[in-house]
């Protein structure tokens, strides 16, 4: 069996890494294809380095652009490779344009698509990611749902039960495989002069938040108040999209917020684990906060990860400063004793074993 693993962005590199490691371990015939949706060193190569991943065999270099430009370039570039290599399965992960473009190209060539992290739904179709998830799930042959809830979302949409397997989320594998390595290698607390528990972590990059001047301005205002109430620094490893918008909108970052380069995975895991709380609009970071038992405030009105809300350790707060501060206070007083709903850290192995068993 030949599996083509496609990835293109930071979270896909992280969440595909356990699958790639397992393929290497088995000596499987697989290829690694990078669309190049993310390309800056700190959003891309740094993760291959930290996670000790092999170099991709193919690079499409699609870069940035509008949704149609990006998706179209991915489709065209990948089609050429698939026609030549004819893999048995194309494996994609998550909800980015890389995922949709790749799934479309493969499905039209009658090549089976495997969707890792299938069945997540925010029920908000203004999000580009929701469109990508929906369409990919409906053309995939293998749906690797992380939780029972994700599976039930797929069944409700009429997707054939035979195609769905609940495997947990490979993000758990990634956290467990890397946290000890991070402890041994990273000097992040010394480098940033931080005490564990003595800071907040902030990330924001969602199109609907940071491309909107008012919402981005509200987020910054909320952080100013957060700093003045708790007196703790707010570490803000800023996504390139967000830096660009701060500049375009002429928004300056107040005292107390420390803008950092996007962090390497090992550094970021440690920063997450010892944060007083994490404020984020990221999908993967909501999951990691939950796995690491760190209080999380999600800067959105909805989430496709409601399992994290049910633990009491994550609260939806949108971008209104008053709501954000209230959510911080509530989540900080919650008991951090929940069970991680995303699996046992063996999802990558389960996914590959299912594919192997099916051929």
Task: Show which residues are catalytic.
Answer: 205
273 touches ligand UD1 by CB under 6 A: no
- Output the six-digit token pair for 234: 């707010």
240 touches ligand UD1 by CB under 6 A: yes
**From the list ligand UD1, ligand UDP, none, which binds 203 (C-beta under 5 to 8 Å, kind-based)?**
ligand UDP
DSSP 173-229: HHHHHHHHHHHHH--HHHHHT--TTS-EEEE---HHHHTSHHHHHHHHHHHHHHHHH
Which CB sits closer to ligand UDP, 84 or 125?
A: 125
* Residues numbered 42-61 forming contacts with ligand UD1, rule: CB under 6 A: 43-44
Which CB sits closer to ligand UDP, 82 or 235?
A: 235
Given 11, 56, 321, 345, the residue binding ligand UDP (CB under 6 A): 11
Which CB sits closer to ligand UDP, 10 or 350?
A: 10
Q: CA 272, CA 288: separation in Å to the nearest integer?
A: 8
Apex CA 185: angle with CA 179 and CA 283, to 5°? 40
Given 6, 7, 14, 235, the residue binding ligand UDP (CB under 6 A): 14
Q: Please name the residue that has the structure tokens 């990221």.
A: 282
Q: CA 278, CA 339: separation in Å to the nearest integer?
A: 18
Q: CA 292, CA 178: separation in Å to the nearest integer?
A: 12
9 touches ligand UD1 by CB under 6 A: yes
Stretch that binds ligand UD1, among 6-14, 167-175, 176-184, 316-324 (CB under 6 A): 6-14
* Full strand arrangement of the beta sheet holding 234-237: 257-260, 234-237, 200-203, 277-280, 296-298, 314-316
283 touches ligand UDP by CB under 6 A: yes
Q: CA 309, CA 186: separation in Å to the nearest integer?
A: 30
Q: Is 35 helix (H, G, I), strand (E, B) or coil?
A: coil
Q: How far is the CB of 50 from ligand UDP (least distance, A)?
A: 8
Q: How far is the CB of 130 from ligand UD1 (least distance, A)?
A: 10
- Output the six-digit token pair for 65: 């652009």
Which CB sits closer to ligand UD1, 230 or 288?
A: 288
Given 10, 121, 305, 349, the residue binding ligand UDP (CB under 6 A): 10
Q: How far is the CB of 181 from ligand UDP (least distance, A)?
A: 13
**Residues recorded for the chain:** 359
Interaction mask 190-219, ligand UD1, x per CB under 6 A: ---------------x--------------
Which CB sits closer to ligand UDP, 36 or 262?
A: 262
| Close Cβ partners of 190 (under 8 Å, ≥ 6 residues apart) | none
Given 17, 35, 97, 263, the residue binding ligand UD1 (CB under 6 A): 97
DSSP 121-178: --S-TTSHHHHHHHHHHHH-SEEEESSHHHHHHHHHTT--GGGEEE---HHHHHHHHH
* Residues numbered 190-249 forming contacts with ligand UDP, rule: CB under 6 A: 203, 205, 237
Task: Point out which residues bind ligand UDP (CB under 6 A).
Answer: 10-11, 14, 203, 205, 237, 262-263, 265, 268, 282-285, 288
């Amino acid at each position: 069996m030949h599996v083509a693993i496609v990835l293109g962005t930071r979270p896909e590199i992280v969440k595909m890494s356990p699958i790639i490691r397992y393929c290497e371990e088995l000596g499987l015939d697989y290829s690694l294809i990078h669309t190049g949706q993310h390309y800056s060193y700190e959003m891309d190569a740094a993760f291959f380095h930290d996670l000790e991943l092999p170099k991709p065999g193919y690079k499409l270099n699609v870069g940035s652009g509008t949704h149609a430009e990006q998706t179209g370039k991915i489709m065209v570039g990948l089609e050429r490779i698939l026609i030549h290599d004819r893999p048995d399965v194309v494996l994609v992960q998550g909800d980015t344009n890389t995922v949709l473009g790749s799934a479309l190209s493969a499905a039209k060539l009658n090549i089976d698509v495997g969707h890792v992290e299938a069945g997540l739904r925010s029920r908000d179709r203004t999000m580009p990611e929701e469109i990508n998830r929906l369409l990919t799930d409906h053309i995939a042959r293998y749906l690797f749902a992380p939780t029972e809830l994700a599976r039930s979302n797929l069944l409700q949409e009429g997707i054939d039960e035979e195609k769905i397997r609940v495997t947990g989320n490979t993000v758990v594998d990634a956290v467990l495989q890397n946290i000890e390595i991070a402890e041994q290698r990273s000097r992040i607390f010394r480098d940033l002069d931080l005490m564990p528990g003595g800071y907040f972590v902030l990330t924001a990059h969602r199109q609907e938040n940071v491309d909107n001047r008012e919402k981005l301005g509200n987020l910054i205002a909320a952080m100013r108040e957060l700093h003045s109430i708790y007196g703790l620094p707010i570490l803000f490893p800023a996504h390139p999209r967000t830096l660009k918008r701060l500049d375009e909108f002429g928004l300056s970052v107040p005292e107390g917020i420390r803008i950092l380069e996007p962090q390497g995975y090992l550094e970021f895991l440690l920063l997450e684990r010892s944060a007083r709380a994490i404020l984020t609009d990221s999908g993967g970071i909501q999951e990691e906060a939950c796995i690491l038992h760190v209080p999380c405030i999600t800067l959105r009105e909805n989430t496709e990860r409601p399992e994290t809300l049910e633990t009491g350790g994550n609260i939806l707060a949108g971008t209104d400063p008053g709501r954000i501060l209230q959510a911080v206070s509530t989540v900080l007083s919650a008991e951090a004793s929940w069970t991680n709903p995303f699996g046992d850290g063996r999802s990558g192995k389960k996914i590959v074993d299912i594919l192997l068993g099916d051929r």
